[in-house]
Amino acid sequence: MDIEIKDLHVNIEEKEIVKGVSLKVGKGEFHVIMGPNGSGKSTLAKAIMGHPKLKVTGGEILADGTDISEMPANERARMGIFLQFQNPIEIEGVGFVNFLHTAKRSIAQSDVDVNQFMGDVDSWTKKLKITNGIVGRSLNQGFSGGEKKKAEVLQLAVLKPKLAILDEPDSGLDIDAIKIVAENVNELAQKHEMGLIVITHYSRILSYMKPQFVHVMVDGKIVAEGREEMIAKLEKEGYEQFVKK
Ligand SMILES: Nc1ncnc2c1ncn2[C@@H]1O[C@H](COP(=O)(O)OP(=O)(O)O)[C@@H](O)[C@H]1O
Ligand SMILES: [Mg+2]
């Protein structure tokens, strides 16, 4: 899938948060969006996914050339867009495995072989070193920060979206877990030609991932773009240089 965002403006209530962002993510490309807290990164991610609380007030989101900016989130998911939330919500009474199976069926628009599905869940649980039986619990209920992030990589592995947006996949993870998450996301993206947008404000996870394009977002706008060398530059100089005083 090819995503092209053109001069996107997004409001939360009456306030403009995303102020004219253009971004093109080709099939299988790996992009990173970095920027300080509050710059609108999560809002941009939610707008691509179609979060109902947001209002797109201008611009377009094209998926393979079709404007999806008015399309409901579940239809975008069915098209193959996946968003890993920065703060995944806990849903009592919805079993994690049930949830995942329903999502898989909805995206496949057909029945999903239960044995194969459970086998997939099982092998990825081991691969991601997910312990503490979280797979048997309600969605995100009592999951630690790190477990939520791993559980979302498990979703990614089973759902195999065409475009995955990961919002701070490193938050709440210890160093070993960051490595596991990064390596598995890399492997999945390469194997399935998944487009990838990783949002982060720290560069640590990027020592295990090799993005092709880096975008810096400050105050609702992309203020700088570059290749991998941009990460080292940001690490050295910070975001300060982009912030208007
Ligand atoms: N639900 C909300 N209601 C009001 N303001 C919000 C809401 N969510 C985010 N904002 C505001 O939007 C701005 C951008 O937030 P966000 O997209 O989360 O930034 P980032 O992910 O870059 O840290 C912030 O100023 C934040 O306070
Ligand atoms: Mg955020």
Structure confidence by residue, pLDDT tens digits, 4-39: 999 999 999 999 999 999 999 999 999 999 999 999
CATH number of the domain encompassing residue 193? 3.40.50.300
Report whether pLDDT(88) > 80: no
Closest residue by CA, ligand 1 atom 2: 12
CA distance 80 to 202: 27
Report whether pLDDT(130) > 90: no
Report how many domains make up the chain.
Answer: 1
pLDDT at 103: 87
pLDDT at 165: 96
* Terminal alpha carbon distance of the chain: 39
pLDDT (mean) for 155-177 = 91
132 falls in which pLDDT band (50, 70, 90)?
Answer: low
Q: What is the pTM of this model?
A: 0.93
Q: Give the Cα-Cα-Cα angle 107, 166, 139 (nearest 5 degrees).
A: 60
pLDDT (mean) for 203-226 = 94
Closest residue by CA, ligand 1 atom 10: 12
Mean pLDDT of the chain: 90
Residues 6+ apart with CB under 8 A from 62: 2, 3, 4, 5, 6, 68
Report whether pLDDT(219) > 80: yes
* Cross-strand bridge partners of residue 30: 196
Closest residue by CA, ligand 1 atom 13: 38
Nearest atom of ligand 1 to the alpha carbon of 45: 17
| 3-class SS letters over 45-95 | HHHHHCCCCEEEEEEEEEECCEECCCCCHHHHHHHCEEEECCCCCCEEEEE
Q: Give the Cα-Cα-Cα angle 229, 175, 131 (nearest 5 degrees).
A: 135
pLDDT at 49: 94
| Domain span holding position 198 | 3-242
pLDDT at 245: 63
pLDDT at 136: 77
| Token pair listed for 67 | 């404007």
Query: In this structure, which ligand is nearest to the CA of 220?
Result: 1
Going by DSSP bridges, is the β-strand pair 30-34/213-218 parallel, antiparallel, or unpaired?
Answer: parallel
Report whether pLDDT(147) > 90: no
Residue 98, Cβ neighbours under 10 Å: how many?
12
Query: In this structure, which ligand is nearest to the CA of 51?
Result: 1
Using only the alpha carbons of the chain, give its radius of gyration: 18
